[in-house]
Amino acid sequence: MRFFIDTANLNEIREINNLGILDGVTTNPSLMAKEGITGKNNIFAHYKAICDIVDGGEVSAEVLSTDYAGMIREGEELAEIHEGIVVKVPMTKDGIRAIHYFTNKDIRTNCTLVFSAMQALVAAKAGASFVSPFVGRLDDISTDGLDLIESINEIFLNYDYDTEILAASIRHPMHILKCAEIGAHVVTAPAKVFLDLLNHPLTDIGLKKFVEDGQKLKLH
Ligand code: E4P
């Protein structure tokens, strides 16, 4: 399973990348706005900085246009920034057309805002490199987001699609565990969720005891 971090914050990206467990980054307009980044030059420089941190990793950069021509223009420019850029396109009629266009141009895409298995199937048929089903946002409206991951996984296996499931809107470690059991190819989660994966109270208790007993060995 590949781990992407869902943030545009360079320090958080560095922190998780330094653990040696990071395979990529997903951003979205809300995450970019949270960092206070404005203007095309600054936005592009920020994507480049992210790509440089996760050298060899994949970095989703989202188009801001909602019309086909705008998505094509923006996506082609984003793809020029760095070879790690994956153009993130919303799940709309124009978005699907744009994904088909980018696929023919060998530009990698991430179809975002996927909330149904039918949307994922259409994105796969258009040639999306990734589909991003939003698990947490479905949970928020009392619908089991993990059921969606299961359904998409079954469909993609039935037809051997190359499109990868990028489970998004991940809120806690159990989401990651369940996505791994189902077989999602990638999860994207905030830094805190990855750090939470490391924790277990018995580890803390066990380490405390080892440190105490270790002092009796008088190594130093
Ligand atoms: C996906 O790529 C999105 O950036 C993200 O996972 C959305 O998560 P949220 O529901 O926590 O905003």
Q: Which of 166, 169, 175 should be mutated for ligand 1, with most atoms under 8 A from CB?
A: 169
By annotation, the residues acting in catalysis are 88
Q: Give per-residue pLDDT as tens, 12-61.
A: 999 999 999 999 999 999 999 999 999 999 999 999 999 999 999 999 99
Query: Is residue 110 classed exposed, middle or buried when 0-12, 13-18 and 19+ CB atoms within 10 A define those classes?
Result: buried
pTM recorded for the entire structure = 0.96
Which residues lie closer than 8 Å to 28 by C-beta, 6 or more apart? 62, 88, 112
Q: Give per-residue pLDDT as tens, 79-126.
A: 999 999 999 999 999 999 999 999 999 999 999 999 999 999 999 999
| CB of residue 153 inside a 6 A radius of ligand 1 | no
Phi, psi dihedral angles at 116 (to 5 degrees): -145, 155
Nearest-angstrom CA–CA distance, 97 and 144: 29
Nearest-angstrom CA–CA distance, 206 and 203: 5
| CB of residue 110 inside a 6 A radius of ligand 1 | no
Cβ-contact 191, 12 below 8 angstroms: yes
Q: By alpha-carbon position, which residue is closest to atom 7 of ligand 1?
A: 169
* ∠ Cα 27 134 33 (to 5°): 30
